[in-house]
């Protein structure tokens, strides 16, 4: 079922956060770490961009990308990143969403830079995706993909 209420997503001409993250219709996006502080506007924008609901950790099939909400008190970031690789298709990316610096639960960028290679990932891009959240794109280094 599709809806065209609101006139579609091309009214402003500027790319929204979901488009900046590279999400397109038909992609399967797995969302992990959702909590009440997660940005609902961003979530809706992503689901609109992929024209489907995001899937959760129980999905059990491959996904094109993982959206991982992470806060400083969520535990070991390396473990969280490794867990998020479970259903990720080869060549897929993890978008690590962390509270911006100065916000409750903010994650030090140095912690991300340290955790990514331990989890077998390389950091490629960082983007501001909402008032309170920043996104860091993590991928398997090309030397590790076959």
Rounded CA gap, 137 and 126, in Å?
Answer: 6
Q: What is the pLDDT of residues 52-88, one digit of tens each?
A: 999 999 999 999 999 999 999 999 999 999 999 999 9
Q: What is the pLDDT of residues 80-110, one digit of tens each?
A: 999 999 999 999 999 999 999 999 999 999 9
Rounded CA gap, 71 and 79, in Å?
Answer: 13
Ordered structural domains, the chain, with CATH: 23-144 (3.40.50.150)
* Nearest one of 113, 91, 100 to 22, comparing CA atoms: 91
| Contact of 107 with 129, CB cutoff 8 Å | no
Q: Rounded to 5 degrees, what are φ and ψ at 109?
A: -55, -30
Strand 63-69 to strand 29-32: parallel, antiparallel, or no bridges (unpaired)? parallel
Q: Residue 141: which pLDDT band, with cuts at 50, 70 and 90?
A: confident
Tokens found for residue 59: 């999905």
Quote the pTM value: 0.86
């Amino acid at each position: 079922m599709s809806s065209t209420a609101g006139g579609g997503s091309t009214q402003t001409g500027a790319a929204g956060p979901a488009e900046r993250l590279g999400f397109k219709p038909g992609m399967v996006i797995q969302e992990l770490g959702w909590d009440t502080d997660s940005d609902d506007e961003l979530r809706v924008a992503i689901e609109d961009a992929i024209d489907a609901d995001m899937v959760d950790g129980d999905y059990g099939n491959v996904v094109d990308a993982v959206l991982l909400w992470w806060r400083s008190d969520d535990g070991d970031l390396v473990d969280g990143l490794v867990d998020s690789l479970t259903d990720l298709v080869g060549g897929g990316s993890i978008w690590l969403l962390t509270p911006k610096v100065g916000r409750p639960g903010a994650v030090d960028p140095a912690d991300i830079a340290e955790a990514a290679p331990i989890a077998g990932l390389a950091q490629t891009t960082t983007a501001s995706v909402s008032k309170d959240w920043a996104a860091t794109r993590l991928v398997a280094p090309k030397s590790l993909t076959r």
